[in-house]
Amino acid sequence: MTEIDITPDDQKVFDRLNSTGRITHKLKQLMTKQWNICSLCSRATTVGRPNFAGYDSNGVPLLVGACCADNLVELASPTYPGVTSTLNITVEDSQPLWRYMDFAKFVAMLIQKGLYFPRVDKLDDPFEAATGLARREKEWDDYYLEFFRDVVVSPVPGYASPDLSPEEREKEAQRLLREFKATSLVHRSKLVSCWHANTGESEALWRLYCPPGTAGLAIRTKAGTLWDATVNERSAVVGRVHYIDFRKGYAGINERVFCKRLSLSHESEVRAVIASDPSDTSGGRIVSCNLGMVIECVVVSPFAPVWFASTVAEVIAKFGFAFEVRSSELLEAPFY
Ligand SMILES: [Zn+2]
């Protein structure tokens, strides 16, 4: 695990400003998109050193290194890219995103006037928000146990090293490991809206989600629009999924909901993630949004029967929307 490294320049910022913890949707968006890049001078922060997320005197969100921290009048939170967040999930606002679905799901969406976010532990993939392969759990535990053994005897600045017997040290390290693993379970209760990043259509995904003999469609949006659609969700994060070879690695500590198995890399997924209410056992929630803004166009499956396109257009109109309905680019004729 990379160590945190606070330089005198960083310390000056901490001495001047206390963290308020006030992270607005716009600031969260900036923190996700900039990750380790200063939003004022575009300098990348050295791993281990903090970035400072907060606001300037006009309330404009900033994510800056010590280089530009003089512009901050409020520090919301420091971030440690590469340490406490190990994955850069940044995705361009202009990235086109697709959702392939059957007609029933599409109609449900029009009725609900929003996007349904299921809990990740209700999805098919048992590796959702997993740390790694069960057969490699001990290896992971041993690594973090060693880390916590150091932590429990490391002095807090200004204080002497804690005086612990070897047994106390071991017991304390074991306790921290247990707590660490328990808190990671919270990621399994997060809610997600899953999308496929691609500039055009994918025949593979048409076959997977709308196979021949069914009537399906795809809707298209952009990553920046997903941020806008979740503006009322303070916890919302839109990011790119990383595909991990779990034979060799583990999911990122705080971004495991953005980690999936390498065998799913064809999904090229971007997802919007929101926190769930722990007391809610319903398995998901609708996030109301302006579908007229979210859905750029509707593409009818190339495998759907010919009558289907006009039915889709009629149903859209009945619900008061005016989405453009297109036929699939897969149906375009070749020349030889
Ligand atoms: Zn800077």
Q: What is the distance in A from the centroid of ligand 1 to the CA of 56?
A: 13
Q: What is the distance in A from the centroid of ligand 1 to the CA of 35?
A: 13
Name beta bridge partners: 98. Answer: 196, 220
pLDDT in tens, 51-86: 999 999 999 999 999 999 999 999 999 999 988 888
Task: Tell me the two tokens of residue 70.
Answer: 């003089």
pLDDT in tens, 138-186: 999 999 999 999 988 887 767 777 788 999 999 999 999 999 998 888 8
User: Among residues 42, 92, 48, 46, which one has the least CA distance to residue 63?
Assistant: 42
| Single-letter residue type at 134 | A
Q: What is the pLDDT of residue 157?
A: 67
Q: What is the distance in A from the centroid of ligand 1 to the CA of 257?
A: 30
Q: What is the distance in A from the centroid of ligand 1 to the CA of 63?
A: 9
Q: What is the distance in A from the centroid of ligand 1 to the CA of 34?
A: 12
- Name all contacts of 170-179 with Cβ < 8 Å and 24+ positions apart: 172/148, 173/145, 173/148, 173/149, 174/145, 174/148, 176/148, 176/151, 176/152, 177/141, 177/144, 177/145, 177/148
Q: Quote the pTM value.
A: 0.92
Q: What is the distance in A from the centroid of ligand 1 to the CA of 70?
A: 10
Strand ranges for 142-224 from DSSP E: 191-197, 216-222
What does the pLDDT profile of the chain (336 residues) look like in tens digits? 677 889 999 999 999 999 999 999 999 999 999 999 999 999 999 999 999 999 999 999 999 999 999 999 999 999 999 888 889 999 999 999 999 999 999 999 999 999 999 999 999 999 999 999 999 999 999 999 999 999 888 877 677 777 889 999 999 999 999 999 988 888 999 999 999 999 999 999 999 999 999 999 999 999 999 999 999 999 999 999 999 999 999 998 888 999 999 999 999 999 999 999 877 888 999 999 999 999 999 999 999 999 999 999 999 999 999 999 999 999 999 999
Task: Tell me the two tokens of residue 283.
Answer: 């398995």
Q: What is the distance in A from the centroid of ligand 1 to the CA of 156?
A: 29
User: Among residues 110, 24, 91, which one has the least CA distance to residue 225?
Assistant: 91
Cα gap 188→256, rounded to integer Å: 9
Cα gap 209→100, rounded to integer Å: 6
Q: What is the distance in A from the centroid of ligand 1 to the CA of 47?
A: 15
Q: What is the distance in A from the centroid of ligand 1 to the CA of 72?
A: 11
Q: What is the distance in A from the centroid of ligand 1 to the CA of 78?
A: 14
Q: What is the distance in A from the centroid of ligand 1 to the CA of 39?
A: 7
Cβ proximity of 83 and 4 under 8 Å: yes
Task: Tell me the two tokens of residue 247.
Answer: 């034979």
Q: What is the distance in A from the centroid of ligand 1 to the CA of 258?
A: 28
Q: What is the distance in A from the centroid of ligand 1 to the CA of 65?
A: 5
| Single-letter residue type at 60 | V
**What letter does residue 261 receive in the DSSP assignment?**
E
Q: What is the distance in A from the centroid of ligand 1 to the CA of 131?
A: 34
Q: What is the distance in A from the centroid of ligand 1 to the CA of 64?
A: 5
Q: What is the distance in A from the centroid of ligand 1 to the CA of 231?
A: 27
User: Among residues 220, 219, 221, 204, which one has the least CA distance to residue 303?
Assistant: 204
Q: What is the distance in A from the centroid of ligand 1 to the CA of 141?
A: 37
Q: What is the distance in A from the centroid of ligand 1 to the CA of 42?
A: 6
Q: What is the distance in A from the centroid of ligand 1 to the CA of 147?
A: 32
